[in-house]
Amino acid sequence: MFQGKNVLVAGGTGFVGINLIKRMLTMGATVRATIHRKEPVLQDSRIEYVTCDLLFMEDCKKAVADMDYVFMCAANTSGAAVIAATPLVHVTPNIIMNAQIMEAAYFAQVKKFVFLSSNAAYPPSDDRLVKEDEMFDADPYDIYFGVAWMKRYTEILCRMYSQKLKTPMLSLVVRPSNIYGPHDDFDPATSHVMAATIRKVVERQNPLKVWGTGDDVRDLIYIDDFIDALVLAAEKIDTYDPLNIGLGKGYSIKQLLEMLMEIEGCHDLKIEYDSSKPSMIPIRLIDVGKAERQLGFKAQTDVREGMTKTIEWYKAACLK
């Protein structure tokens, strides 16, 4: 499908963007990638980097011009600390970027637009596996209220472009669980749970401080598996039909720490849980049956294997 096609990866210096560019190159695509504040990570003559700020419509138009497919991986994002302290920081910029690049893509007659939503936008679901059709059943968790409704609003835009216009633009929505792996963000100020925990263990932080009680449960998917699913969705789904993409099982932060310390052989680290710090979503498990039925997708990398690969990459790339 992508052989010889023009593919835009918006967010070409981000975690998902970098890994998606690598995959698109192996599939014979002609890749354009947007960059903003960060320098390109991948150096390859087959990648056309376009410096732009997606908050400006002219830059969005420049990015999507002559593209067949657009993957919207660009986002203003960060970890729990930033979201808890400044809940509006990810609302306005992302709504503007998402709305403008979709409009620009539509008028550029892009064949298919792919949006990365989030499992954090679902309503509270306790320890159930949450299904795709539950997204709008109730409000999301308060701590994610702004970010979640930003994602939901963009999903509605995808539905509008895909189903409600006389001349539609096929617009896909994927809702990943917690993605981790090579090229993740390991900055303590902005990293997500897996990257933050891996860094603490590899650096032998002692005491190793953990926000919350350690009982929060997450579904974690290794980046290569997620890219597999993302590409399959782009190939096989031709309408607005949101898909959960995840491993299909959950692990508590305590379980993840135990596995990481076992992999690293450092059982002597003292772990300090700080329940006064904001816990995000207590339990979030997603039902991945729809992706298995529609895409034939099932994640191949278990958490221990994924952790080991990520640690190896982190040591080689970040601890030079």
Question: pLDDT category, 129, cuts 50, 70, 90?
Answer: very high
Q: Give the integer Cα–Cα distance in Å for 149 and 91.
A: 8
Task: Quote the pLDDT of residue 81.
Answer: 64
The domain made up of 6-181+219-247+286-301 has a fold known as Rossmann fold (3.40.50)
Query: Domain segments of the chain: what residues?
Result: 6-181+219-247+286-301
pLDDT computed for residue 54 by the predictor? 97
**Helical spans, DSSP H, in the chain:** 15-26, 57-64, 80-85, 92-107, 145-163, 193-202, 223-236, 253-264, 289-295, 303-318
Q: Which residues pair with 174 in a beta bridge?
A: 116, 243
Confidence category of residue 277, pLDDT binned at 50, 70, 90: confident
| Region of poorest pLDDT, from 34-38, 46-50, 186-190, 264-268 | 186-190
Amino acid 78: pLDDT: 61
pTM (global) more than 0.85? yes
Q: How high is the pLDDT of residue 89?
A: 75
Q: What is the mean pLDDT of residues 173-195?
A: 92
> Mind listing the pLDDT tens digit for each residue in 191-217?
888 999 999 999 999 999 988 889 999
pLDDT of residue 278: 65
26: Cα within 13 Å, side-chain hemisphere: 9
